[in-house]
Chains A and B, each alone.
Chain A
């Protein structure tokens, strides 16, 4: 059962990642990451 579950999770993870890339989340992650996150450093 667990053996099957890990393959299901593996496929699901790939599907989710590809869906996220397809709907443009990579650009959103990049946009946030290339600017200094003021909240992270305790200023914002």
Chain B
């Protein structure tokens, strides 16, 4: 049931976030004031349908501009979302996460991603999103959104392809960088068929930011140590390969809730936990449980 609810929310957020259909028809983008608001997931602001801004693009564009080297507005917004939900956004709202999930449903041989690659996303965040756009500026002091320019496959999928199909002027300007980004998108698609959410886990700077808040966010996962039998079913169905009974609020957890649904002893719960009371706020009945984050 939770997985159906999640799918509905993923579809809805993708459609609402990219609902400017006129943009797709005309090969243009929405230019209204809503664009000053960031979308909580990775969603390119040059997507013809996008009503809002990409937080990673905005973070870079402010850093690359003349006035400020860091955007308090975007950092504050991401902190707010991260503090309330952590990586729940990745699992429920992000259109590019949803895209990868759909690709992983394509029948093929499935592979595990080496855990060491999880740290790569912090490199992309620090170097390509925070440092280089602010430091590598031209003679008048303007930098470039380098993550968007060299790495981001979401921009190619959501903006590059639809815009160049409909917009003749842009199609005429296609050069080697376009093909570079097309190749990165193709690699992302192939890996997403073989590995669950490879971009979210190894590359996404937005996931890297939200992951920092997973251990402290209001919304959290909880494993009842008295009920958990460590049967490992949760690990087998986990899209990001974590053992939730070892670290209920792991930075990698996208809080999709698959483990909550599948746990045979109903030891895993998620919600807005009140740590003083040691239980989730939505729990009405007092059950016997340690209420701790980890199953010790």
Residues of A within 8 A of B (CB): 2-3, 5-6, 9-10, 12-21, 23-30, 32-34, 36-44
Contact = CB atoms under 8 A, between A and B. Distances in A.
A37 to B, nearest CB: 4
A5 B155 CA distance: 35
B33 to A, nearest CB: 7
Contacts of A9: 79, 82-83, 213, 216
Interface stretch (B14-22, B88-96, B144-152, B251-259): B144-152
Classify the interface of chain B: helix, strand, loop or mixed. Answer: helix
B53 A20 contact: no
A44 B149 CA distance: 8
11 contacts: A9-B79, A15-B76, A20-B72, A20-B75, A25-B68, A30-B35, A32-B53, A32-B57, A32-B61, A37-B145, A44-B144
Interface string B162-195: 0110000010011101111110000000000000
A17 B152 CA distance: 25
Nearest to B274: A3
A32 B58 contact: yes
B74 A20 contact: yes
